[in-house]
């Protein structure tokens, strides 16, 4: 029959804010990233996204590019230390719905797994905070000399998450038809399609568009939106993008 697991994306699904953006800000505070790079390269993209005029993925990519460049010059110990501080200070800023679902799955004896595009150092700390059983995140590889090599194994795209879910399925002897997945962006699409109980939590327009175009997922998925202190479950067949 196989075991049951719940796969959770983190940024925007569990946490109300992105881990990489919090990591980026703290690296500026620790003077690992020059503040001018924020104002020159990232802040304009953030401003456009914050006004709902720009693309979040562009804002994210600009941070990732600078983060990748910075870690090559940074001792892994410092990155791990900063990641720990980020989760200590921001790790409880979560959606009530997602926090309650993690607890429910643990109470049912399900395996709880984080699959996130954030750096693995952050995902590891977040997983520990919520008592998760396993995790996957973006790996910034460390070379034989103990320093970051500049090579990346991403986990923010749909293809990578698809592969990660299949690896976890084999590792934990899972029955995917009985498993759950929670995500909010197009990067989670393949993860949601693989399980029998998919949940789109505060989904982006792009993810909703993909759901509406996929007959099987449209039939199976639950769409959850949490705003302020109210959680809504939406009827997919009644959704209309405007």
Instruction: Domain of residue 92: give its range.
Output: 5-238
Q: Which residue ranges in the chain fall short of pLDDT 50?
A: none
User: How much is the pLDDT for 23?
Assistant: 83
User: How much is the pLDDT for 165?
Assistant: 96
User: How much is the pLDDT for 242?
Assistant: 67
Phi, psi angle pair for 212, to nearest 5°: -65, -25
Give the whole-angstrom CA distance, residue 117 versus residue 1: 30
Three state DSSP letters for 52-66 = CCCCHHHHHHHHHHH
Alpha-carbon dihedral angle through residues 44, 45, 48, 52, given to the nearest 10 degrees: -160
How many separate domains does the chain show?
Answer: 1
User: How much is the pLDDT for 75?
Assistant: 82
Backbone torsion region of residue 234, taken as left when φ is above 0, otherwise alpha when ψ lies between -120 and 50, otherwise beta: beta
User: How much is the pLDDT for 225?
Assistant: 93
> Cβ contacts of residue 105 below 8 Å, gap of 6+?
6, 112, 180
User: How much is the pLDDT for 178?
Assistant: 97
User: What is the three-class DSSP state of 238?
Assistant: helix
User: How much is the pLDDT for 63?
Assistant: 80
User: How much is the pLDDT for 189?
Assistant: 94
User: What is the three-class DSSP state of 117?
Assistant: strand
Give the whole-angstrom CA distance, residue 199 versus residue 232: 12
CATH code of the domain covering residue 11: 3.40.50.1000
Tens digit of pLDDT for each residue in 125-159?
999 999 999 999 999 888 888 878 878 888 888 89
Task: For residue 11, list its beta bridge partners.
Answer: 15
User: How much is the pLDDT for 147?
Assistant: 78
């Amino acid at each position: 029959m196989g075991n049951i697991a719940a796969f959770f994306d983190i940024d925007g699904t569990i946490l109300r804010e992105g881990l990489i953006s919090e990591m980026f800000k703290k690296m500026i505070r620790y003077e690992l990233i020059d503040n001018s790079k924020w104002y020159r390269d990232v802040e304009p993209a953030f401003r456009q996204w914050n006004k709902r005029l720009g693309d979040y993925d562009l804002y994210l990519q600009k941070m990732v590019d600078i983060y990748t460049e910075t870690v090559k010059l940074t001792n892994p110990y410092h990155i791990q230390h900063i990641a720990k501080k980020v989760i200590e200070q921001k790790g409880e800023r979560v959606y009530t719905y997602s926090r309650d679902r993690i607890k429910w799955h643990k109470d049912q004896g399900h395996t709880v797994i984080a699959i996130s595009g954030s750096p693995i150092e952050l995902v590891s700390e977040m997983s520990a905070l919520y008592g998760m059983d396993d995790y996957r995140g973006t790996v910034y590889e460390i070379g034989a000399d103990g320093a970051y090599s500049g090579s990346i194994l991403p986990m923010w795209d749909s293809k990578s998450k698809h592969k990660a879910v299949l690896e976890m399925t084999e590792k934990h002897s899972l029955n995917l038809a009985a498993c759950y997945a929670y995500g909010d962006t197009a990067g989670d699409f393949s993860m949601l399609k693989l399980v029998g109980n998919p949940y789109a939590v505060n989904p982006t327009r792009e993810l909703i568009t993909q759901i509406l175009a996929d007959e099987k997922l449209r039939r199976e998925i639950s769409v959850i939106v949490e705003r302020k202190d109210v959680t809504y479950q939406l009827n997919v067949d009644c959704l209309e993008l405007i």
